[in-house]
Amino acid sequence: MRSLLRTPLGPARGSLDTSLVRDSSLVWLASGVVGVSFGAISVAGGLPVWVPVVMSLVVYAGSAQFSAVGVLLAGGGPVAAAATGLLLNTRTLAFSLAVADILGQGRLARLLGAHLVTDETVAFALAQSDPARRRAAFWISGLGLFAVWNLGVLAGALAGDALGDTGTYGLDAAFPAVLVALVLPALRANPAVRRCALLGAGLALAVTPAVPAGVPVLVALAGLVGHGRGRGRTA
């Protein structure tokens, strides 16, 4: 069955098949699970329920939120927590450039779209075969992800200590597993993308023992240098 995607900004041009919704649902599920973990960890560590809930609505950045809360629970101040989150979120600058033409031209579209830019929405959008599907994939995955993440955080925060140690459930592996599933088709189909991914992964693994959590993701972006050089050789 096919239908038109409607966002708060109006209908997206082109048709949408249900495979986008089906594939996005995997990311939403992982998001909800990790959101529950984040909310529970925050409240179990001593923060009031409203802190993870408001942070998820306003900041909306999973790894940055985990890191900021980790700083707060370790005794650090709000400034140190905010600085840690900002550092980890610098990677979204590159992501935003990658999807700038997908968001639309209006100010509202760009403002809302910028808030929805995450590792998952960008990966899902860029994995699509044409501009219309990329835009549809971005908005479907982005709006659904935002809703499910925040509902998961709220549920985890309200549950608090009742969930026990969420790390024992392996919840932190949910997002990486879904991302790998999303990018595998592109890696198989495009040798240039495969080379960049391998280079970025190698660099990230190399620096992981020496840098704070989240920084290896930034270092992995250096793998894109190989893509630029490859395009220069084929031009």
pLDDT digits (tens, 9 = 90+) for 70-87: 777 777 677 777 776 777
Query: pLDDT tens-digit profile of 198-226?
Result: 888 888 889 888 876 556 766 777 777 75
Residue 7: predicted pLDDT: 47
Q: What is the pLDDT of residue 149?
A: 93
Sign of CA dihedral 201, 206, 31, 172: positive
d(CA 106, CA 32): 30
Q: State the pTM of this model.
A: 0.65
The strand pair at 10-11 and 2-3 is best described as unpaired
Report the pLDDT value the prediction gives residue 127, as an integer from 0 to 100: 80
Residue with tokens 């140190």: 80
Residue 5 placed within a domain: no
Cα 180 from Cα 56, distance rounded (Å):
24
According to DSSP, residue 207 is labeled H
pLDDT of residue 214: 58
| 145 domain residue, yes or no | yes
Q: Is 56 contained in some domain?
A: yes
Q: Provide the domain limits for residue 31.
A: 16-160
Q: Is residue 183 part of a domain?
A: no
- 182: in domain: no
126 is a domain residue: yes
Burial state string for 138-170 with b = 16 or more CB within 10 A and e = fewer than 16: bbbbbbbbbebbbbbbbebbebeeebeebeeee
Q: What is the mean pLDDT of each run of 10 residues along the chain (235 residues)?
A: 42 58 83 85 84 89 77 74 73 73 78 84 82 86 92 90 62 56 68 82 86 69 64 45
- Counting the structural domains of the chain, the total is 1
CA 63 to chain centre: 8
DSSP one-letter code for 45 = T
- Please indicate, yes or no, if residue 115 is contained in any of the structural domains: yes
Q: What confidence score (pLDDT) does residue 213 get? A: 58
> What is d(CA 116, CA 65) in angstroms, rounded to the nearest whole number?
15
**CB-hemisphere CA count at 13 Å for 95?**
22
Classify residue 192: in a domain, yes or no.
no
